[in-house]
Structure 1
Amino acid sequence: MKNPENNPISTEIKEDGSFNRQTNRFITPFGNKEGDLPVEKGRYRLLWSAVCPWAHRSVIVRKVLGLEDVISLGTASPMRPKLPHVDWEFSLDDGNLDPILKIRYMSEIYLKTDPTYQGRPTVPVIVDIKEKKVVNNDYFKLTNYLENDWKPYHKDNAPELYPESLRQEISNLNDVIFNEVNNGVYKCGFAQSQEAYEEAYDVLFTRLDKLEEHLGERRFLFGDFITDSDVRLYATLIRFDVAYYSAFKTNRNRIVDFHHLWGYLRDLYQTPGFGDTTDFHAIKVHYHLSNHIGSNDHKGENILPKGPDLSGLLSDHGRQALSKHKSKFLII
């Protein structure tokens, strides 16, 4: 199937109609080696939108580790104007400008950094405030940088989200979660052939079924404690019933229909840094009122869904009973 000319992901659709996400352009790591980005308090700004799962997980980790006063935060609107390409806009700020970077559109900072940049201006993105340039938009590794390289600035008693003893296992699981769940819902929603959609759909729910079984015996993915993998899975699960189930046609089951996944999601939602950084209104506006695949020229007749009922997220999850389980993750 041919893509509409105004489709911003047209270059990411393969011949068979499947979605193949663009690679990240700015991937210089943080660290102490020559060529690494220096770890420095107050130097960087994290740009995000509350609708984006990749960005959300970075904001969760930033808060859980106590980095709010170390790396500032700029928030783009859930609605995306078409200029003529779909962009992120800082219309939530006074004067429609990010107060620190003085930009209106995300593409401005990308093009200031690289005038030849032709990809989508994605979030999350780390901007060097001194240089007013993008330094890293590697959403796949960003939380790991915050967990490891920014450790000197972690708050007292900050949790170990990426412990060295489990690092390889966490990374292996993260690959599975990304390909089959995080990006899996997008492979369903952005597919442009029936075959590509159904293949992605089957992979997604096969993995959710395995996670449901696994979480019937463990409170979190690796046992008694939250890790980077839990953050990554949460960012998709919390959007599932509100957005993906209908907007992306991932409609075999809702998360509320899975006994253990639903309890696990409630457990995380009630954990500081998770639920208090989750903006359901923004998520619904983005996925239901703006056509973020093509243009977002919505008209007055578009209606924001009233449901689903989210009050159950605050109900007792009872998953503390599983906290005695210490085994490692073995279902990959």
Structure 2
Amino acid sequence: MNETAPDSTDAAAEQHSTRGAYVSAGKGFDRDMNYIDDRITRDGRDGWPVEAGRYRLIAARACPWANRTLISRRLLGLEDVISVGMPGPTHDKRSWTFDLDPGEVDPVLGYERLQQAYFARFPDYPRGITVPAVVDVPTRAVVTNDFQRITLDFATEWTEHHRAGAPDLYPEAQREEIDALNKWMLHRVNNGVYKVGFAGSQEDYEREYALLWEALDELEERLGRSRYLMGPSITEADVRLFPTLIRFDPVYHGHFKANRQTLASMPNLWNYTKDLFQTPGFGDTVDFAQIKRHYYYVHEDINPTQIVPAGPALEPLLEAHDRDRFETDTWGPGGTAPEAPLAAEVVDPAHTPLHVTGR
């Protein structure tokens, strides 16, 4: 997601900026959770049928919510079915921009800004222009930005296009428990770090800080019982937690003042993070340079100098972990690891310690 808005006037842009990334003095952080809830389904009941090559996922590597969709797309092998556009790590009040592409224009949509896809469908769209978003290529109009639903539909509605050996990220027998865990993690961890970082008063900060660390302690204990959140295999829950954990020490610990301790000092959470980072489909979607550039540059209200820190060292993410002490069936019955990323989607080797050869 992000902190951007329509640009009919500067005042309107300011009013609608962010679903969350700004400080409001004296107030707690409250993310706008109203999204375009259309779904792309096999039966096309919302008017958007599953169709290979029709849709384009817009997902900035900097954004944790978008990072989930990149991981899911990789794990399920949807790269040749759903194309991807990647905005750069910074944006203004109006929108994410395609400044990484030649001519600073998305080569498929022909847009300079993501907001153009939103306005193509909703000319007076009143909310933040967020990633991830799925765009209908023929009309160049946004279909959905419901970040919580997009990955679930990748797992359940796009099954005919999954690669051979794709994991079942949302197994039916565990869905109720996964849903409950995901809801808890959303409010206490994924969004919890933002509640700490954008608290507008000492009282709000201390309350949210305590709740965040209480939740992280619970996860530390949970991960002392199994390799992954739901047991021996990777599920949607792991896809949702990893983007927050991988950003914790480089960003949330200092930038958001979530600094009771580093993640690297918590044995289970840290080894779990290293384990997933070294797992195909997870670490190879992470661009630390873009992540740090986004948070430290865009959030001028909490980092007015826009200085991006040089650390922390990333090489420890490649060190051995201890997660294989648990029962393990990483990809589930009959599952296999995904192939290497498409050559055009390989993260710049200078931005990560994980060097992956594309295909």
TM-score normalised by structure 1 residue count: 0.89
For the residues of structure 1 that align with 2:152 and 2:140, how far apart are their CA atoms? 23
Q: 2:160 aligns with which of 152, 162, 167?
A: 152
2:18 corresponding residue in structure 1: 9
2:322 corresponding residue in structure 1: 318
For the residues of structure 2 that align with 1:198 and 1:70, how far apart are their CA atoms? 45
Shift of the 106–175 alpha-carbon distance from structure 1 to 2, 3 Å rule, reads same
Q: 1:195 aligns with which of 199, 203, 216?
A: 203
What value does the CA root-mean-square deviation take over the aligned residues? 2.2
Q: 1:25 aligns with which of 20, 30, 35?
A: 35
Shift of the 141–13 alpha-carbon distance from structure 1 to 2, 3 Å rule, reads farther
Contact 1:14 1:20 in 2 (8 A): no
Stretches of 4+ aligned residues off by more than 3 angstroms? 9-16
For the residues of structure 1 that align with 2:84 and 2:187, how far apart are their CA atoms? 28
Shift of the 78–15 alpha-carbon distance from structure 1 to 2, 3 Å rule, reads closer
Contact 1:86 1:292 in 2 (8 A): no
The range that moved more, 229-238 or 196-205, is 196-205
Q: 1:302 deviation in Å?
A: 4.6
Contact 1:161 1:226 in 2 (8 A): yes
For the residues of structure 1 that align with 2:19 and 2:31, how far apart are their CA atoms? 10
Q: 1:275 deviation in Å?
A: 0.4
1:135 corresponding residue in structure 2: 143
2:122 corresponding residue in structure 1: 114
1:307 corresponding residue in structure 2: 311
Contact 1:185 1:248 in 2 (8 A): yes
Residue 247 of structure 1 aligns to a residue whose secondary structure is coil
Q: 1:201 deviation in Å?
A: 1.1
**Deviation string for 1:117-152 (max 9, x for gaps)?**
121100000000011110010001111000000111
2:75 corresponding residue in structure 1: 64
For the residues of structure 2 that align with 1:112 and 1:191, how far apart are their CA atoms? 35
Shift of the 38–244 alpha-carbon distance from structure 1 to 2, 3 Å rule, reads same
Number of positions where the alignment pairs a residue of Structure 1 with one of Structure 2? 314
Q: Does 1:277 align with 2:277?
A: no
**Deviation string for 1:186-224 (max 9, x for gaps)?**
111122122222211111100000110111121111110
- Partner letter of residue 98 of structure 2? F
**Deviation string for 1:20-55 (max 9, x for gaps)?**
111333111222153352000000000011111110
Q: Does 1:161 align with 2:169?
A: yes
- Partner letter of residue 169 of structure 2? L
For the residues of structure 2 that align with 1:47 and 1:166, how far apart are their CA atoms? 29
**Deviation string for 1:136-195 (max 9, x for gaps)?**
100011110000001110000101110001011101100001000000011111221222
Q: Does 1:179 align with 2:183?
A: no
For the residues of structure 2 that align with 1:315 and 1:15, how far apart are their CA atoms? 42
TM-score normalised by structure 2 residue count: 0.83
Q: 1:324 deviation in Å?
A: 6.0
For the residues of structure 2 that align with 1:72 and 1:293, how far apart are their CA atoms? 35
Contact 1:185 1:204 in 2 (8 A): yes
Shift of the 15–189 alpha-carbon distance from structure 1 to 2, 3 Å rule, reads closer
Shift of the 292–133 alpha-carbon distance from structure 1 to 2, 3 Å rule, reads farther
Q: 1:109 deviation in Å?
A: 1.2
* Residue ranges of structure 2 left out of the alignment (5+ in a row): 1-10, 330-359
Q: Identity of aligned pairs, percent?
A: 43
For the residues of structure 2 that align with 1:308 and 1:66, how far apart are their CA atoms? 32
Q: 1:303 deviation in Å?
A: 3.3
* Residue ranges of structure 1 left out of the alignment (5+ in a row): 326-332
1:46 corresponding residue in structure 2: 57
2:295 corresponding residue in structure 1: 287
2:332 corresponding residue in structure 1: none
Q: 1:253 deviation in Å?
A: 1.4
